Amino acid sequence: MIKKCLFPAAGYGTRFLPATKTTPKEMLPIINKPLIQYGVEEAMEAGIFNMAIVTGRGKRSLEDYFDINYELEHQLKGTSKENLLKDIRNVLETCSFSYTRQMEMKGLGHAILVGESLVGNEPFAVILSDDLCDNEGGQGVLSQMCKIYAKYRCSIVAVEEVALEEVSKYGVIAGRKIDEDVFVVDNMIEKPSQEEAPSNLAIIGRYILTPDIFEILHRTKPGKNGEIQITDALLEQCKKGMVLGYKFKGVRYDCGSVDGFVKATNIFYDKLKR
């Protein structure tokens, strides 16, 4: 039902400078796999095979990564190392990739709007690949959200409870529970102070959006930090119709921060050794 997944990937990744001076943050690996590949595999697990990536200057390695490297394939063919390319080959054989560039960094809402030409007039998923989700053997977060979409047919944001001291890092929702772990959103605020926060349910980097979001984004004025915020556009959508918050099953690592990145690395390494 959801056929496309949009990956906003134009950000500078300043928290990982100087590494991100020439390497996109989406290409930083947890063990041996770039962050964005975890996101792509989560979309595949949800039955989505068209990946639309919003890139920016200095991000060409993303396009090269999702392509065949003939020289490498040739070198490894028939050797014991051939197996190391198995996962990425599977991605390339099953998925299509399209790209567009965000020329100016005007916020997540703007990045999503730039993706309009790739997405068209259909509902779509959004993955922010620095939020790495581990389903711990269960269904992936996007897969869980697609199920909810099939029932309610409206925009959905994935949420998790965070400590009050953390709310100012996120979009935060207030909602009324209508189903197990499902809330009808009645308010959402981008990066509120503790006093302003309507709850401690923070939005994480997984969205399903209905295409009317584009028309709203075209009109959305810069909000928090002077950026066009997807949270503001979603608030308008929820006033006109319905937006859901879904408390997903699984664990999220904020790999956009050094702490979260190291934590994910350690946990994924332990799993490998188990």
In the complex, what is the shortest distance from the CB of residue 227 to ligand G1P, in angstroms, rounded to a whole number?
A: 8
Q: Does 24 bind ligand G1P (CB under 6 A)?
A: no
In the complex, what is the shortest distance from the CB of residue 67 to ligand G1P, in angstroms, rounded to a whole number?
A: 27
The contact pattern for ligand G1P, residues 127-156, with x = CB under 6 A and - = no contact, is -x--x-------------------------
* CA–CA separation, 104 and 160 (whole Å): 30
Nearest residue to ligand G1P, scored by beta-carbon proximity: 171
Near ligand G1P in 199-218, by CB under 6 A: 202-205
Among residues 190, 208, 238, 264, the one that binds ligand G1P under rule CB under 6 A: 190
Q: Tell me whether strands 201-209 and 124-127 are parallel, antiparallel or unpaired.
A: antiparallel
In the complex, what is the shortest distance from the CB of residue 190 to ligand G1P, in angstroms, rounded to a whole number?
A: 5
* CA–CA separation, 171 and 212 (whole Å): 20
* CA–CA separation, 168 and 162 (whole Å): 10
Cβ-in-10-Å burial (0-12, 13-18, 19+) of 186 comes to: middle
Helix (H) or strand (E) holding 246: strand 243-247
Among residues 5, 43, 51, 108, the one that binds ligand G1P under rule CB under 6 A: 108
User: Distances from the Cα of 132 to the Cαs of 80, 183, 212, 215, in angstroms?
Assistant: 30, 23, 27, 29
In the complex, what is the shortest distance from the CB of residue 12 to ligand G1P, in angstroms, rounded to a whole number?
A: 11
Binding site for ligand G1P (CB under 6 A): 108, 128, 131, 170-171, 190, 202-205, 229, 231
